[in-house]
Each structure stands twice: as C-alpha cells, then as structure tokens.
Structure 1
Amino acid sequence: MRACYYDDIGAARDVLRTGDVPTPECGPGEVRVKLATSGVNPVDVKVRAGRKQPWPRIIPHSDGAGTIDQVGDGVDKKRIGERVWIWNAQWKRPFGTAAEYVALPSAQAVALPDKVSFAEGACLGIPAMTAFHAVELAMRSGKTLLVSGGAGAVGHYAIQFAKLAGATVLTTVSSPEKAKIAKEAGADHVIDYKTENVGDRVMALTDKRGVDAVVELNITANAKLLPTVLRPKGSVIVYGIAGPDLSLPAQFLLSNAIGIQFFLVFELDAAERARAVSGIGAALAQGKLIHRVDPRQFGLNDTAAAHEAVEQGASAKIVVTI
C-alpha cells in the first residue's frame, strides 16, 4: 500500500516520505479500514518534530475515516463495508492513518452516518472526543461555562456539546472572524480577548457571580485569569498546556475551593470513552454538529504541506485525502 511515513524526527519536508509499505492484515479482534481521509492534529506535528523517535518507522496521524474491508477473528463479518471514523490510531502504536489502510482494534473504528462525509469523520477522534469529555466534566459544576478558544478545533465542538447539554456558554476568541465562528457554533456570549477585558466581561455577563467552570485549552497562559472569571467552588477542566511548568494563583484556588481537573484524551478509561463515542454518535445521527474542515486540498503526497499548515496555525481541521 501507499503511505506517508518518517524514519527520523525533524522538519516535515526533511523527514516525511511517501512510498510503498506492507499492507496490514487484521489480528484477532481487529478491523482493517480502507482509508478515505486522515486528520492532522497539532500532536501529530509535535511528535514528528519531537525529541526522540519511539519506533524505527512511523506512519503518523491518529484520526481518520474510511470503510472496513477486512475483519479479524472474533469480529462480526457484517462490519465489512461499514463506514467508520477512527480514534487513537497512532497512540502508542507506530502506524496511523496517513496510509491507504490501517488495522486496529474493532472498537477504535466507530460507525459513521452516511450523511457525514469522510472529511468530517476525520475531525472527530481527538477534537470532538476531547470536547465531549471536557464538557461532561465541566457540567458537574453547573451550567454556565467559559470555553477558552471557541473558534479552535476543540473549543468549537465544546461550545456545541455544551449547548446540547443545556449550558449557557461564554467563550474567548482573538478576532472578529473567530467571533463569527464561535457564534455560529452557538456561543451565547463571545469575548475578544485582544480588545476586551475578559474578567470584566465575564463578571458583567454573570451578574458578578462568575462562571461555574472553565474549559481550558492553555492553562499555562491563562491561569492568571482564573480569579477574575470563576465563582467560588467552581472548576477548571484542562486539556492543553503550552509548556512543562505552570504557575497557579494558589491563594485564590485554595480560598475558593477551586477544583482543577487535567485529562489527556488519549488516556480516557473505557467508560469515559464509551460515553464520548455514544454522545458524538447521537449528535451526528441527529445532524446536530457543525464541522470545520479546511478547504485546502492535501493528498497523501502533500502530507508535509499539511503538517506545515497545522504549524502555521490553520483555523480549521487539516485533512489529507488518501
């Protein structure tokens, strides 16, 4: 089969290669997916440019979508021909979705409704699952949420899942264009942090009470805002950082009994994963989700350019068409 791969870490154009590699076969409990699309996430770029090479050869990307064409022992043969979206394809495994085929555990290939395109299916694995779980945790504190970065891949889905759960959603953005994206997702209030004081706006919008919870994409940069936006006994749900060290407003957090929950979407437990898959599936079946796919066309041979687009801060999901 054809695949994009790298044998060493480095810049995208220096290390990414496209060529023929062995076509995978299913093991017990696995399915093989003939891939139509491969989604590129920031983590894929970071691993490829990272400090060490965990395997001799890596086919990148954890997200993707396609059609099951083979099943292993113990998997219902009726799954052959099923349209699916994929999660964790390249997590703790060397071979992901930047290829014509991928073999992986059956549970990691989830039914994709016919009305959802393969490009849209490639958006779900990391962004939508992160957003669903973050909102699930945040809603335990109440129904008024502040979503950081509402025009980003995760924030955009988080707004939608929060609204489906009945929340009032405030969100931060960095431009009028991004404000429009967040509003289209359903945000009740959009705050441009480049031109507005976030704390003042949050307090004005919540009658000086503060939000019940913050869904945070970058706690490293935004921790200083917490005293200005959170109510006592509120919570912060953290799914992203921008560095290895963190400075927190400890006195505020202690005095106000603020809960902070970090999580990594790759490491959800079975019950958490099942709820996310079920919630995403229900929203897809009902046509309730808006997906943001970058309009640029990237083929398998263009994977290096796709990685560079992510590095340059693409505002919508970069998808490689296989």
Structure 2
Amino acid sequence: MRAISYTKSGGPDVLELTDRPVPEPGPGEVRVKVAFSGVNPTDWKSRAGTDPAFPDGQIPNQDGSGTVEAVGEGVDPVLVGERVWIWEAAYQRPWGTAAEHTVVPARQVVLLGPDPSFELGAALGIPFLTAHRCLTVAESLPDRIGPGSLTGHAVLVQGGAGAVGNAAIQLARWADATVIATVSSPQKAQLAAAAGATHVIDYKQQDVVAEVRKIVPHGVDAIVEVAAAQNAAVDAQVIGLHGAVAIYAATGDQGITIPIRSQMAPNARWQFVLVYAEPERAKAIGVEDVNAAVLDGAVRVGGEAGLPLHVYPLAETAVAHQAVEEGAVGKVLIDVTA
C-alpha cells in the first residue's frame, strides 16, 4: 500500500511516499481503508518536534475517514463495510491516516452513516473534539452539548474563521447559544457568519470589549481562545460569572498575564485544552456529542459552512502540511484515493 512516513523530525521535506504491507488489525483493532486524511497543526508540530519512537517510522495525521475492511480479535465483525470517521489515530501509535490503510483501536472509529461525506468525516476529529472541550469546561455550562443545552448562554469564539473556531461556532449554535466570533478581516467575517455566528466582530476595526458588552452586558459563559497571549486582557474584561477561558493554541511557549483580582469576582476559570491529554470521560462524551451533531445534520464543511476545503493527493502530503503550517484558512484534507 502507499503510505506517507517519516523517520526523523524536521520540515515537510522529511515526509516520504513509501510502499508498505497492508497492516493486519490486532486484538481490539480495526483496519480502515482510508478515503480522506485530515491535517491539523498538531500533525506538523509533532513531525517537526521529535523523532518518531517507532523503528519503521511514523505515518502522520490523527484524523481521517474511510471504510472498515477488517477487524481484530474481540471486535464485532458487523463493523466490516461501515463508513467511519477516525480520531487520534497517530497519538503514541505508528499508524496515522496518511496511508491507504490504517489500523486503530475500535473505539477510535465512529460510525459516519450513509449520508455525511468522507470529507466531512475527516474534518471532525481534533478540531471538533477541541471545540467541544472548550465549550464544556465552564462551571456555568453543562458537560454535554445537544439541542437546547446552551439556550440562554453566550460564547465568545476568538478566531471564528479557524478550524476549531468554525467547529465551536457550529456546535454552540446547534446547542442554541448566542455565539460571538472575532475575526481579522471582512473575508473572515463572512466565513464566521456562514458557520452560524450570531454576531461577528472585526477586532482590527472594532473595540471587542465594548461590542461584547453591548451584546451580553453580564459577560460570556465561555471563551474559545486561539491566541491567549494577545487576547488575555480582552478575555478578562468580558468573562462572565463562573465562566471559563479555554486556551487551545499558542505560538511557541508564550506566556500570559492574568489580572487576578478582576478574575476572582466572577470565579473565572482559565483552562488549558489539549485533546490528547484531556480526561477520558470528557473525551468519550465529546466523541458522542460530536457524532450526534453530525447525525443531526448540524455539522457542515465547505465554503458555504465557513470552512473552505483545500484538498491534496497523498503524494503531496508535504505540501498539505506546509499549507497548515503557513496558516491556511479552512480545512486541509488529503484525498488518499486520488
């Protein structure tokens, strides 16, 4: 089979197209014929940061979609032939989704059903599970997301045109929250609005604190934060009672300064979010809720959903990684079948 792999850390040029035997699923595993592989910032950061721990190298990319074609011991064979989406394939495992076939624990494939596209399935994983965690860590919010679960609550999505920002908007609107998104340009404002944001603020042209307070004078319940080092002062002024600032990204090892006294009054929480290390129960709930949103028709991809797709063939995985590293707006996918 064709597979992308790397044996040492470095830039996108360390990714090589290789020929490997089709893997056999072990106990508790399934083998998936991959249709699309999703590329996330953690994929290129892992590739650039450390050498693979596996002697045959690492196949990158955590997210994907495809069809189950074989199961290992202890897995119900009824799964064979099912369309699925894959999450966290390559975390502490050599088999990512940038290959024609991959093997993963059975719990890390989720039934996609007959209608959602494989492109949508490959776009779920890390962005949507991250967004779910960001939307459920505040004490003022429930730990499950579903229709009506966020009625009467307000969410601020800092960076509403990004992949996680888009996911947060879609999930929060499905749950009936008031969603305020910040963006840096009119073009990105259109994407956030297409995703479903109730209000969109251009932070380069408008005073975010003033605009948020006009919409929700008491402050927001959750902030989905992509750039805490730049936005901490704003976040501290708009967080509401028992709200949480959920920080899921950073450039390098930046620091933040939090005004202690003003955050004590609302009992605010500043929460760091990394899907791979989040509590297992929270992760399991996230998978269930995200899949419920998909099956409910509440999740979309493409420009009309505020998430333009950038699709590359498997042989151009290095180019796809570079696009994500350079901040491509939308979702980068690899068409493994091309």
Indicate whether the TM-score tops 0.5.
yes
- Determine if the alignment matches structure 1 residue 224 to structure 2 residue 233: yes
CA contact (8 A) 2:120 2:300 kept: no
The one-character-per-residue Cα deviations of 1:70-105 (angstroms, maximum 9, x if unpaired) are 001111111100101000100111220111111111
Residue in 2 aligned with 1:204? Answer: 214
Structure 2 CA distance for partners of 1:262 and 1:295, relative to 1, 3 Å: closer
Q: Which runs of 5+ in 1 are unaligned?
A: none
Question: Whole-Å Cα distance in 2 between the matches of residues 285 and 234 of structure 1?
Answer: 29
CA contact (8 A) 1:200 1:228 kept: no
* Counterparts of residues 3-18 of structure 1 (less than 5 Å): 3-13=3-13, 15-18=14-17
Segment of structure 1 superposing worse, 171-180 or 224-233: 224-233
The root-mean-square deviation of aligned C-alpha atoms, in Å, is 1.8
CA contact (8 A) 1:63 1:126 kept: yes
* Counterparts of residues 170-319 of structure 1 (less than 5 Å): 170-206=180-216, 208-244=217-253, 245-292=255-302, 294-319=308-333
Give the TM-score normalised by structure 1.
0.94
Shift of 1:52: 4.2
- Determine if the alignment matches structure 1 residue 125 to structure 2 residue 125: yes
Secondary structure (helix, strand or coil) at the match of 1:224 reads helix
Question: Whole-Å Cα distance in 1 between the matches of residues 122 and 78 of structure 2?
Answer: 23
Letter of the structure 2 residue corresponding to residue 217 of structure 1: V
Shift of 1:267: 2.3
Structure 2 CA distance for partners of 1:139 and 1:253, relative to 1, 3 Å: closer
Segment of structure 1 superposing worse, 126-135 or 231-240: 231-240
Residue in 2 aligned with 1:66? Answer: 66
Shift of 1:294: 4.4
Secondary structure (helix, strand or coil) at the match of 1:23 reads coil
The one-character-per-residue Cα deviations of 1:211-238 (angstroms, maximum 9, x if unpaired) are 2221212222221212321234432122
How many residue pairs get matched? 320
Question: Whole-Å Cα distance in 2 between the matches of residues 130 and 147 of structure 1?
Answer: 13
Of 159, 162, 170, the match for 2:169: 159
Secondary structure (helix, strand or coil) at the match of 1:49 reads helix
Shift of 1:138: 4.0
CA contact (8 A) 1:139 1:213 kept: no
Q: Which runs of 5+ in 2 are unaligned?
A: 142-151
Segment of structure 1 superposing worse, 262-271 or 70-79: 262-271
Structure 2 CA distance for partners of 1:295 and 1:150, relative to 1, 3 Å: closer
Letter of the structure 1 residue corresponding to residue 262 of structure 2: F
Letter of the structure 2 residue corresponding to residue 216 of structure 1: E
CA contact (8 A) 1:220 1:243 kept: no
Question: Whole-Å Cα distance in 2 between the matches of residues 212 and 34 of structure 1?
Answer: 41
State, as a whole percentage, how many aligned pairs show the same letter. 45
CA contact (8 A) 2:36 2:334 kept: yes
Shift of 1:22: 2.7
Letter of the structure 2 residue corresponding to residue 38 of structure 1: S
Residue in 1 aligned with 2:148? Answer: none
The one-character-per-residue Cα deviations of 1:228-262 (angstroms, maximum 9, x if unpaired) are 21234432122222332332222322344211222
Shift of 1:295: 4.2
The one-character-per-residue Cα deviations of 1:85-136 (angstroms, maximum 9, x if unpaired) are 0001001112201111111110101101221111111101101111122212
* 4+ aligned runs moved over 6 Å, structure 1: none
Question: Whole-Å Cα distance in 1 between the matches of residues 139 and 328 of structure 2?
Answer: 29
Segment of structure 1 superposing worse, 158-167 or 74-83: 158-167
Residue in 1 aligned with 2:93? Answer: 93
- Determine if the alignment matches structure 1 residue 320 to structure 2 residue 337: no
Residue in 2 aligned with 1:31? Answer: 30
Question: Whole-Å Cα distance in 2 between the matches of residues 309 and 148 of structure 1?
Answer: 21
Give the TM-score normalised by structure 2.
0.89
Residue in 1 aligned with 2:179? Answer: 169
Question: Whole-Å Cα distance in 2 between the matches of residues 274 and 185 of structure 1?
Answer: 25
Segment of structure 1 superposing worse, 126-135 or 138-147: 138-147
CA contact (8 A) 1:60 1:90 kept: yes
The one-character-per-residue Cα deviations of 1:40-96 (angstroms, maximum 9, x if unpaired) are 111111111115443341110000000011001111111100101000100111220
Shift of 1:139: 7.5
CA contact (8 A) 1:150 1:173 kept: yes
